[in-house]
């Protein structure tokens, strides 16, 4: 669809299919998703650097955040998407080396090789996949599978950040090959990250290392840096960890900053309709503004975030990607037109209903714990709302619908 329409922003499809309001609504929800998602990831880097390095130097958290964003801003400002593709490759390499070395050195400290670790009784407590005993539990397999599947669909196919790299491929076939190869690589990478996560908790238990706290609140996000830096594994592990952590966060945050700039310029400011000389200056200003916005949001997270970063990212996705899921599903799988002026209201009401459901105490559901399955429910509510405001016309029925 994106290649056929030759779009810069994938949300231009919504304008082609439904109208201007739908287009702006989709772009708005992407914008919110990406600001919060990128901020979550950079927040993790910032709190680690702050807690383990900069606090001892007397440097404030706000300064740490500003420096981190400034470094990303500098190289994305100069290079755009092509620079991101190369820096992402380099950062990914650092990240993978960090994971491999961390697994090796921690196993060595425990007196294991990789085979002994995989066969150990300790690992069995962490390698369970199919949680099917209690359907009411938040991590039941069916709920996790459905929620995870839709999160993967939305955070890939409906995300300007992910799609902008595929849209730079020379042809549709190249883009499809890229998607398949990336999926295979990500599957393997996630497997090793899961191994490392289990190994960290096993090591912490054996060495009596407690979960670190920040402002008096236990933070499992800080367990890896605590082990890497303060548990006597040596400088190689500490340096490798820091490089890997920074690489992992920056590889997503740099492309997020560029995609936010692109989406805001194209979707909000209609930059492509302005003279070329004006476009360049405007894009520079927006790029600065996006960096400043990320700084503000990350600093706010320090004072309001209560859960771990991964759960925070996925929970936000259940709210912000739901309307996008509903809009694109309705557009692709039906030929119905909608009353475009009401689309924003449908999207906001869907999010409001989902938020309301998530705040209802478990006791009202008989102990049922709500998880990431709220994302497809959110998409379904948006789909039903669009059906209620459907137009009697269908696509292609009049000249204005092509």
Q: Do 70 and 292 form a contact (C-beta atoms < 8 A)?
A: no
Residue 401 banded pLDDT, cuts 50, 70, 90: very low
The Cα 87–Cα 252 span in angstroms is 10
pLDDT at 176 (0 to 100): 85
Q: What is the tens place of the pLDDT at every residue in 353-387? A: 999 998 888 778 778 888 888 999 999 999 999 99
Positive or negative, the CA dihedral 195, 201, 207, 209 is positive
Q: What is the 3-state secondary structure (H, E, C) of 158-170?
A: CCHHHHHHHHCCC
| Per-residue pLDDT at 281 | 86
* Residue percentage of the chain with pLDDT more than 90: 28
Q: Tens digits of per-residue pLDDT, 194-223?
A: 999 999 999 999 999 988 887 777 788 888
pLDDT of residue 81: 53
Say what the pLDDT of residue 395 is: 63
Domain boundaries of the chain, sorted by first residue: 2-396
The secondary structure of the chain in percent helix, strand, coil, rounded to multiples of 5, reads 75, 5, 20
- Compute the distance between CA of residue 24 and CA of residue 14 in angstroms, rounded to an integer: 8
At residue 97, the pLDDT reads 84
Rounded to whole angstroms, the Cα distance separating 300 from 288 reads 19
pLDDT tens per residue across span 136-157: 888 888 888 888 899 888 888 8
Instruction: Decide if pLDDT at 58 tops 80.
Output: yes
Domain 2-396 sits in which CATH superfamily?
A: Sodium/glucose cotransporter (1.20.1730.10)
Q: Residue 398's pLDDT band (boundaries 50, 70, 90)?
A: low
Q: Which tens digits make up the pLDDT trace of 261-277? A: 887 888 888 888 888 88
Which pLDDT tens digit goes with each residue over 97-129? 888 888 999 999 999 998 999 999 899 888 888
Query: Is 0.85 topped by the overall pTM?
Result: no
What is the C-alpha to C-alpha distance for residues 43 and 36, in angstroms, rounded to an integer?
10
């Amino acid at each position: 669809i994106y290649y056929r329409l030759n779009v810069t922003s994938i949300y231009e499809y919504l304008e082609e299919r439904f109208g201007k309001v739908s287009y702006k609504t989709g772009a708005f929800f992407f914008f919110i998703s990406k600001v919060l998602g990128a901020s979550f990831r950079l927040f993790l880097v910032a709190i680690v650097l702050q807690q383990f390095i900069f606090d001892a130097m007397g440097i404030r958290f706000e300064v740490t955040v500003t420096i981190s964003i400034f470094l990303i801003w500098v190289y994305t400002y100069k290079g755009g998407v092509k620079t991101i593709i190369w820096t992402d490759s380099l950062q990914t390499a650092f990240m993978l080396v960090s994971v491999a070395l961390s697994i090796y050195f921690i196993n060595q400290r425990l007196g294991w090789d990789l085979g002994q670790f995989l066969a150990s009784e300790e690992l069995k407590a962490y390698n369970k996949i199919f949680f099917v005993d209690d359907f009411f539990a938040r991590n039941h397999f069916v709920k996790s599978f459905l929620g995870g599947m839709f999160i993967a669909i939305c955070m890939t196919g409906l995300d300007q950040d992910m799609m902008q790299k595929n849209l730079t491929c020379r042809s549709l076939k190249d883009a499809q090959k890229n998607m398949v190869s990336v999926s295979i690589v990500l599957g393997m990478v996630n497997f090793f990250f899961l191994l490392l996560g289990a190994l960290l908790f096993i090591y912490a238990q054996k060495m009596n290392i407690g979960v670190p706290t920040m402002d008096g609140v236990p933070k499992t996000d800080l367990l890896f840096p605590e082990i890497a830096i303060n548990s006597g594994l040596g400088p190689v592990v500490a340096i490798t960890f820091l490089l890997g952590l920074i690489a992992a966060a920056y590889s997503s945050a740099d492309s997020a900053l560029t995609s936010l700039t692109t989406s805001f310029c194209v979707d909000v400011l209609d930059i492509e309709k302005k003279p070329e000389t004006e476009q360049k200056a405007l894009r520079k200003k927006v790029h600065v503004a996006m960096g400043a916005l990320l700084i503000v949001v990350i600093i706010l997270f320090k004072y309001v975030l209560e859960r771990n970063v991964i759960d925070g990212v996925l929970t936000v996705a259940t709210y912000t990607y739901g309307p996008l899921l509903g809009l694109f599903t309705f557009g692709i799988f039906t030929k119905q037109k909608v009353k475009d002026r009401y689309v924003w209201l449908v999207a906001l009401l869907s999010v409001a209903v989902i938020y309301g459901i998530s705040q209802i105490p478990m006791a009202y559901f008989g102990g049922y714990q709500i998880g990431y399955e709220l994302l497809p429910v959110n998409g379904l509510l948006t789909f039903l709302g669009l059906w209620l405001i459907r137009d009697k016309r269908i696509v292609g029925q009049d000249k204005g619908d092509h």
